[in-house]
């Protein structure tokens, strides 16, 4: 089956065509992503109103490009999928309403996709990852460890109790005077720095459970920067390296605990798998940390190609195809949701980068 996927939850306008074959293998026929980084750079972060207007201006063209690259017409599609949450509600509405219009005009099934499920299922598109497996989801708005049991069946084991990891990277970059988006800039600067120069905290390390906390680390970077201001380029590099090293230590601790629990719960799985997804999964130091941790525990790391870690239409199209194969079709009155946890039974916490979010 062939599905069109539309993604507009934040500052990427994206559309893609994916084919799900009879053997459950996936094939990306097109994947068009238009970034809005330049539109938001002057503000040091995403401005929701600017993002929504940019989606309106670009989405029709992006969909046409995706259809043209795949050499298909709407009549060739088996379904149309769109992110219906969580995300910036203005952008979500634009993508979802466009998908509804296409579905209604061409009598196609609509798949209203949880953006987080798109990330969660990407490894099945790229690596045919089996169920169950662990997922480390790290992005600008979310930091979670989840047990992926099946399509639509998730257990949240851990989440951030304050800032999301991507948010911590961006805010750290901003306070150090690095340009937006901050994550890649921090990683670039860290490569030239001394990770041992500053003794930064490893919040939550050694504690029970699998939750994260990053706001204290971010504040510690600010305090150290204020002590030695004005900062030289080497000071910035050393702070970035120390910050990134602390992040890696925290992830080492939390993931090691989660893997131990996974093995206890699923002793018959000879080689467990951990999938890392979300924009922060593009960070090479984090990938190397996970490689090391997982190798020590005889666990396989699945990290999708970097273009599929950040927001894209292919992951939405694939999640739609997976759900369509199970007959999980949505009605044309499917709502847009600014909040939408993958695990609705998880306890409410302040976290995932949004205060009061149940995510």
CA-nearest of 201, 200, 203, 204 to 238 is 200
* Residue 354, pLDDT above cutoff 60: no
- What value does the mean pLDDT of the chain take? 93
Q: Which sign does the torsion angle of CA 283, 286, 292, 293 carry? A: negative
Average pLDDT score over residue span 270-294: 92
pLDDT tens for residues 119-175?
A: 999 999 999 999 999 999 998 888 999 999 999 999 999 999 999 999 999 999 999
pLDDT tens for residues 37-93?
A: 888 888 878 899 999 999 999 999 999 999 999 999 999 999 999 999 999 999 999
Helix (H) or strand (E) holding 243: helix 233-265
Can you point out the beta strands (E) in 25-150? 26-35, 79-85, 110-114, 133-138, 143-150
pTM of this structure: 0.92
Around Cβ 337, how many Cβ atoms within 10 Å? 18
CA-nearest of 227, 243, 242 to 171 is 243
Task: Break the chain down into helix, strand, coil percent, rounded to 5.
Answer: 45, 20, 35
Q: Which residues contact 97 (CB under 8 A, 6 or more apart)?
A: none
* Residue 302, pLDDT above cutoff 80: yes
Is residue 338 within 8 A of residue 92, CB to CB? The reply is yes
- Residue whose entry in the numeric block shows the structure tokens 């890392």: 276
Alpha helices in 141-198 (DSSP H): 165-175, 182-190
Q: What is the pLDDT of residue 119?
A: 93
Tokens of 133: 């497996």
Domains of the chain and CATH, by start:
2-123+309-325 (3.30.420.40), 131-306 (3.30.420.40)
Chain Cα centroid distance, residue 185: 18
In eight-state DSSP terms, residue 45 is S
Helix (H) or strand (E) holding 5: strand 2-7
Taking the chain, what is the end-to-end CA distance rounded to the nearest angstrom?
31
Tokens of 207: 């504690």
pLDDT tens for residues 321-342?
A: 999 999 999 999 999 999 999 9
Tokens of 117: 């499920």
Measured N-to-C along each axis, helices 165-175 and 215-228 cross at an angle, to the nearest 10 degrees, of 10
Q: What is the pLDDT of residue 175?
A: 94
Average pLDDT score over residue span 248-264: 96
pLDDT tens for residues 212-222?
A: 999 999 999 99
Q: What is the pLDDT of residue 352?
A: 43
């Amino acid at each position: 089956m062939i599905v069109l996927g539309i993604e507009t939850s934040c500052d990427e306008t994206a559309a893609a065509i994916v084919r799900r074959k009879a053997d459950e293998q996936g094939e990306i026929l097109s994947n068009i992503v238009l970034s809005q980084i330049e539109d938001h750079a002057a503000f040091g972060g995403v401005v929701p109103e600017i993002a929504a207007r940019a989606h309106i201006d670009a989405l029709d063209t992006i969909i046409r490009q995706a259809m043209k690259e795949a050499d298909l017409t709407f009549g060739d599609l088996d379904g149309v999928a769109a992110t219906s949450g969580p995300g910036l509600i203005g952008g979500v509405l634009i993508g979802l309403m466009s998908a509804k219009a296409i579905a209604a005009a061409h009598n196609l099934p609509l798949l209203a996709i949880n953006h987080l499920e798109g990330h969660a299922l990407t490894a099945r598109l790229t690596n045919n990852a089996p169920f169950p497996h662990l997922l480390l989801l790290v992005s600008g708005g979310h930091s979670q460890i989840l047990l992926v049991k099946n399509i639509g069946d998730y257990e949240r084991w851990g989440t951030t109790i304050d800032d999301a990891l991507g948010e911590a990277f961006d805010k750290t970059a901003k306070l150090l005077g690095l340009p937006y988006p901050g994550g890649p800039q921090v990683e670039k600067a860290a490569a030239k720095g001394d990770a041992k120069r500053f003794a930064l905290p490893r919040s939550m390390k050694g504690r029970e459970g699998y939750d994260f906390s990053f706001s204290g680390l971010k504040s510690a970077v600010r305090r150290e920067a204020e002590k030695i201001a004005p900062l030289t380029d080497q000071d910035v590099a050393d702070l970035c390296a120390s910050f990134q090293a602390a992040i890696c230590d925290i992830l080492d601790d939390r993931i090691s605990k989660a893997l131990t629990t996974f093995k206890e719960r699923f002793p018959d799985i000879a080689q467990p798998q951990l999938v890392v997804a979300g924009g922060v999964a593009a960070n090479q130091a984090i990938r190397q940390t996970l490689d090391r941790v997982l190798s020590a525990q005889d666990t396989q790391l699945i990290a999708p190609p970097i273009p599929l870690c950040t927001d894209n239409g292919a992951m939405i199209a694939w999640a739609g195809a997976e759900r369509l194969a199970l007959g999980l079709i949505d009605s044309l009155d499917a709502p847009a949701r600014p909040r939408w946890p993958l695990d609705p039974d998880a306890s409410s916490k302040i976290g995932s980068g949004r205060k009061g979010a149940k995510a």
